[in-house]
Amino acid sequence: MTTKLDKVLYTAKAHTTGGREGASRTDDGLLDVRLAPPKEMGGKGDATNPEQLFAAGYSACFMGAIKFVAAQKKVVVPADASIDASVSIGPIPNGFGLAVELAVSLPGLDRAVAQDLVDAAHIVCPYSNATRGNIDVTLSLI
């Protein structure tokens, strides 16, 4: 089932050439990266790759979702909160697929409160909504 946006708040735009062995640049020029396959996939590993970009994007977005739900619940997110994201790629029956692991650290928060924030963030995070039911996403509270 496709979910339609009620309202567009922002649209990111990027221009990519060469695929995994190329470059990608946003229309505002703030992101301008060379792309290369990692050594594990036969590349030189001398530039970033789409999985790294996805890991950075998902973890940043998920932290934003944690802060959003924390504000609603009147919980203060620790200044040293962090997320370690892992994005794996591998073959699936009809091509290639991804798997994501997000290890969330919310130091100083009661574990039950922290888990509630993680669970609620997973409901509202755009990346979680985009991937739900499509790829394996594992969340852990560390």
Domains and CATH numbers, the chain: 1-48 (2.20.25.10), 49-141 (3.30.300.20)
DSSP 31-87: -EEEB---GGGTS---SB-HHHHHHHHHHHHHHHHHHHHHHHTT-PPPTT-EEEEEE
The torsion region of residue 29 among left (phi > 0), alpha (psi -120 to 50) and beta comes to: left
Q: Kindly state the average pLDDT of the residues 116-129.
A: 98
Three-class DSSP category at 93: coil
pLDDT digits (tens, 9 = 90+) for 88-113: 999 999 999 999 999 999 999 999 99
CA distances from 35 to 13, 32, 50, 90 (A): 17, 10, 8, 18
Handedness of CA 29, 34, 38, 42 (dihedral sign): positive
pLDDT digits (tens, 9 = 90+) for 7-21: 999 999 999 999 999
pLDDT of res. 2: 83
Q: At residue 3, does pLDDT exceed 90?
A: no
Mean pLDDT of the chain: 97
The torsion region of residue 74 among left (phi > 0), alpha (psi -120 to 50) and beta comes to: left
Rounded-to-integer distance, Cα 111 and Cα 140, Å: 12
